[in-house]
Structure 1
Amino acid sequence: MFCGYHAAGLCGSCTAIDRPYAEQLSAKHIHAQQLLDDADLEWLEPVASPESGYRNKAKMVVTGTAAAPRLGILGAPDPALASGGVDLRGCGVNAPELRAAMPVLADFITRAALTPYDVHARRGELKHLLVTVGSGGALMIRFVLRSTESLVRIEKHLGWLRGELPQAAVVSVNLQPEHKAVLEGEREIVLTQQQSLPVVMGEVELQVLPKSFLQTNTDVASALYRQGAAWIEEAAPAKVWDLYCGVGGFALHAAAHVSDPGREVTGIEISAEAVAAAERARDAAGLRATFHVGDATAFAAQAEALPDLMIVNPPRRGLGRELAGWLEDSGVRQVLYSSCNATSLARDLAAMPSLRPTRAQVLDMFPQTSHYEVLTLLRRH
């Protein structure tokens, strides 16, 4: 993949872009094998991604001026841009639908007189522009603002935006008043009647609310959920827990692929909004699953009855000592572990020696970088 921004030294985010893609994928597969280092582990072929246009979400820092906004990143090496940033609206890893929307969104910023936030001067209003593409090219557009000062102007010109960009299904304002490196704040104001964005991943149509997490690579996430569902179906568990369930990707696939209609699927997630999104998707699909807002470790420690199979999909830091220790002592027979950080996965596996990985697969969720997803099936020995 050639990137003009990278070639010009304007952006270094894609750290592996100079390597041929086949080499990137092979290196990730070898890296995962070395970290897990188990001769009895069966490795499936790694799942490749499109080399470009794979990201379904663009996270753009807004700099410059209202008349000439830049949508991209901070920290440009060019001293002439020191007070602003680099415009990356043509970033090649973003989906084509996202790139096509950027000029219209830049025009909207000018039309609504949204002053970009100046990090150095600590003034201005518009901090970030977050855009997600879902099913059929529908878009969720979020304006992250310092205050409500410009909210009335966004509402005033919203009709123009949706006229120019009819695929803008969900539009919202997020308020992040603090001067710190935090992408978004607690308060969300949805400006459209439609509240959630449908995104088909695998065999399930997920519903994404503005602040809920979604895997950023739709094609590879679909492969991830399909493989997980196949392993779950083969195990035929009567009771499944999905800890860190997010918007329900694994849990809903576990509920959708059921040979036994009595299967009990429970999802646990700390984010109330993600749970609400999972429940929307469950109801729309007519599936049987229960979702709870709560801490994964606390839920597991307090539960009276264990599942036959547990799904865990933790953040990059992994399960941590407490939950890994609980799993080791719990007696749970099978665990489906999806990890975006093979290093923390290996550390967790070392803390759970009774749960041995039997199958694994690398899925290249993040081409042009060193990051990847690895799915493992653990069985108690």
Structure 2
Amino acid sequence: MSSDPGLAASGLATGLLQCDHFDAWRCRSCSLLQTPYAAQLAGKQAAVEALLPPLPWLPPVASTQSGFRNKAKMVVAGAVGSPTLGILGPSGEGVDLRDCALHTPGIVAALPVLAGFVTRAGLTPYDVEQRRGELKHLLVTESPDGGLMVRFVLRSQEPVARIRKHLPSLLSALGEVRVVSVNLQPEHKAILEGEQEILLAGDPTLTMGVNGFALHLRPQGFFQTNTAMAAALYAQAQEWIDEVDPDAVLDLYCGVGGFALHAAGPPARARRVLGVEISAEAIAGARLTAAEAGLDVRFEAGDAGDAASWLASLGASGAGVDAGKALVVVNPPRRGIGPELATWLESAPVDHVVYSSCNATTLARDLAAMPSLRPVAGRLLDMFPNTDHYEVVLRLERAPG
């Protein structure tokens, strides 16, 4: 056992996670699987520090190596009578990974039942080479309380009637299912899902309990795939925000509202908070969570790049709130915030930024574009164990003068 507090808190040993699929070369996605976990974490920390300016680092937050992934994105292949749920091999053949150790126990238990449902409902797996078949993916998400969201990604609506017909048997076999939907993805492209979603059964959202908040996740909404690390990430951001104690918080790329809601609570706090996200589905879920929590937080569907207007709408354009009392949170995709938003932040009436990133390379590029906002604290969270991916969160403060 390591003496590092980030490791000790997780109770992790430094041994290796054994995987038959990896050993047989059926799946090599976990590229660091043969590296002891303590070395994985140390290597990620070293890689991040090499890319970013020198700054004080908190101990990294370690994850469990297995059973952490709350979402399964399974390619469906093979035949109706014997479907595979997993990935495609180098020759386009289906590789069955329904027992993948990364997924939460509820997902592992559900996947064989879902494979049987594919056969029972006559859902023909999509053949990429032949461009025939209907069922492309099964997407399964598990909430911390064991609830499941099941989504069938289809090429067309042709199988929907059969799914509806046999759905009672699935709901009976999987009592944990809270949401069932169909997503239509008609294009022959490497796109996981399409724009149209059809709710078949259950609620419109799956509740993801995190740090006392019931975050409402809709079928097309984004949520971090490692719930424990998401909770640690939001808690760290909340700690830094509370230390600054801003009057106004602008959360850009807010998703289902995790950062914004943590910035706003408890209800007695008189802090203006606005979350902005391009996905209307995510915003609908965030608004529902805020209402249930009794928090007066605004959520708007729109372009995060229009940050000046969003900040002005909070009364924090420089006239309503001074720079020391406004804070911006950014949690962009892997491509980062980009030159336009970075340039705006460099000259904006904001002295404090919390930047959450899954790509330290683009993070370093963005930091270079806003040199007056200097990192004063950072923390790495191992969102994706057994790979070289991670999440890193920085606290930035504007340099004097």
Query: TM-score, length-normalised on structure 2?
Result: 0.91
Mean CA deviation greater in 291-300 or 105-114:
291-300
Residues of 1 paired with 2:183 and 2:354: CA distance?
34
The one of 45, 56, 64 equivalent to 1:50 is: 64
Q: Does 1:362 align with 2:372?
A: no
Give the corresponding residue for 2:392: 374
CA-CA distance at 1:203 after TM superposition: 3.2
Give the corresponding residue for 2:22: 6
CA-CA distance at 1:257 after TM superposition: 4.4
SS in structure 2 of the partner of residue 226 of structure 1 = helix
Residues of 1 paired with 2:117 and 2:94: CA distance?
19
Residues of 2 paired with 1:246 and 1:179: CA distance?
28
Give the corresponding residue for 2:150: 141
Give the corresponding residue for 1:291: 299
The one of 321, 327, 341 equivalent to 2:359 is: 341
1:247-298 per-residue CA deviation (whole Å, 9 max, x = no partner) reads: 001001111147x622100000000001001011111111120001110012
Give the corresponding residue for 2:176: 167
What's the RMSD between the two structures over aligned residues? 1.2
Number of residue pairs aligned between Structure 1 and Structure 2: 373
Residues of 1 paired with 2:165 and 2:37: CA distance?
46
CA-CA distance at 1:37 after TM superposition: 2.8
Code of the residue aligned with 1:288 in structure 2: it is: D
> Residues 257 and 302 from structure 1, CA distance in 2 versus in 1: closer, same or farther, beyond 3 angstroms?
closer
Residues of 2 paired with 1:310 and 1:298: CA distance?
13
The one of 282, 290, 299 equivalent to 2:290 is: 282
Query: What is the percentage of aligned positions where both structures have the same residue?
Result: 56
What pairs up with 1:1-381 in 2 under 5 angstroms? 1-38=17-54, 41-74=55-88, 76-77=89-90, 82-257=91-266, 261-300=269-308, 303-304=311-312, 305-306=316-317, 308-381=326-399
CA-CA distance at 1:202 after TM superposition: 2.5
Residues of 2 paired with 1:98 and 1:261: CA distance?
38
Unaligned 5+ segments in structure 1 are none
> Residues 340 and 301 from structure 1, CA distance in 2 versus in 1: closer, same or farther, beyond 3 angstroms?
same
Are the aligned partners of 1:49 and 1:367 in contact in 2 as well (CA < 8 Å)?
Answer: yes
Residues of 1 paired with 2:133 and 2:50: CA distance?
48
Mean CA deviation greater in 25-34 or 312-321:
25-34
Residues of 2 paired with 1:48 and 1:150: CA distance?
43
Residues of 1 paired with 2:84 and 2:196: CA distance?
25
Residues of 2 paired with 1:68 and 1:97: CA distance?
22
Residues of 2 paired with 1:56 and 1:303: CA distance?
34
Are the aligned partners of 2:183 and 2:195 in contact in 1 as well (CA < 8 Å)?
Answer: yes
Are the aligned partners of 1:84 and 1:118 in contact in 2 as well (CA < 8 Å)?
Answer: no
Code of the residue aligned with 2:84 in structure 1: it is: R
SS in structure 1 of the partner of residue 145 of structure 2 = helix
SS in structure 1 of the partner of residue 329 of structure 2 = strand
> Residues 138 and 240 from structure 1, CA distance in 2 versus in 1: closer, same or farther, beyond 3 angstroms?
same
CA-CA distance at 1:301 after TM superposition: 5.1
